Amino acid sequence: MAHLILEANRWKRAFTLIELLIVIAIISILSAILFPVFGKARSSGRRTACLSNVKQIGTAIGMYTSDYDGAFPNTGDPYLWVGKRFRWPIMPYLGVAKKSASESSGDRYKSANGASNLLLCPEDVAASSFDYTSYAYSATFYESDESLAAITSIQNLIQAFSKPGSLVQTVSRTDADVVYPSQKGMVTEWTNNHDFAGSKPIGMWGTIVAPFDTPGGDSYSGGRVLLFADLHTKFVKSSTFVKKADPKLDAPDPNLTPGGLGGIDIR
């Protein structure tokens, strides 16, 4: 008799198939609700880390300009705007101990000792293109007004301002040259890592139109972290950038700011 009672109790405690299906359905619903929330929280955390990186880069540039009588970084290199190049003059102020790999690779801008978290956006899938430096420095802070005015397409940036010919001139620009420091971008993410609609982020020139000289119509999509000349940082929508009249220059790129240091990037 006792054996029958135990058997009956055992069957009473067991889940039925319907109960199991209900439990599985509840777990599936909760997962569908919570996983996107966790994903957004993780993405928000990475954006915050990226903002912190750019803020520290701004602090380093601020210390550099203090040591050089208000002059912004300028090494005489027309390609200084590229991430892996502009990082070197401010490296001592970042506290990042990188060594050049030129002895082994012939590339004096390449690091011999890996990436730095201060220079790398956690969500940047294309960072390896610039030797694990996610950020770009605006050419308006080291190019002459004549060189900037001579830019006729993004090819002038890609080919190190070679197309303007004799007008190519790197000069020391100072904080006194910046007319609207709270609206002029100085350092930004090359790609819209934190806000993009397609399958992967795109650069500031979007899907470039052949023959590789005109920004694509999608260049103003998404947004990116931006350091302004007054050293404040902000995540900005690309659509808030001032549009350029020339289609070959029309992109949310601080290198192409109309008026250079006398102009603005964000409305």
Write the pLDDT tens digit of every residue in 129-157: 788 899 999 999 999 888 888 888 888 88
What was the pLDDT predicted at 131?
87
Query: How far is 41 from 63, CA to CA, in rounded Å?
Result: 33
Do the Cβ atoms of 257 and 263 come closer than 8 Å? yes
The mean pLDDT value of the chain amounts to 85
Task: Give the 3-state secondary structure of residue 100.
Answer: strand
pLDDT tens for each residue of 12-40: 566 677 777 787 888 878 777 766 654 55
41 — pLDDT class (breaks 50, 70, 90): low
Q: Is the pLDDT of residue 183 over 90?
A: yes
Do the Cβ atoms of 142 and 73 come closer than 8 Å? yes
Tell me if the bond preceding 36 is cis, omega within 30° of 0. Answer: no
Highest mean pLDDT among 94-108, 144-158, 223-237: 223-237
Token digits of residue 39: 């994903």
Do the Cβ atoms of 223 and 238 come closer than 8 Å? yes
CB contact burial 76-111 (16+ within 10 A = b; e otherwise): ebbbbbbbbbbbbbbbebbebebeebeeeeeeebeb
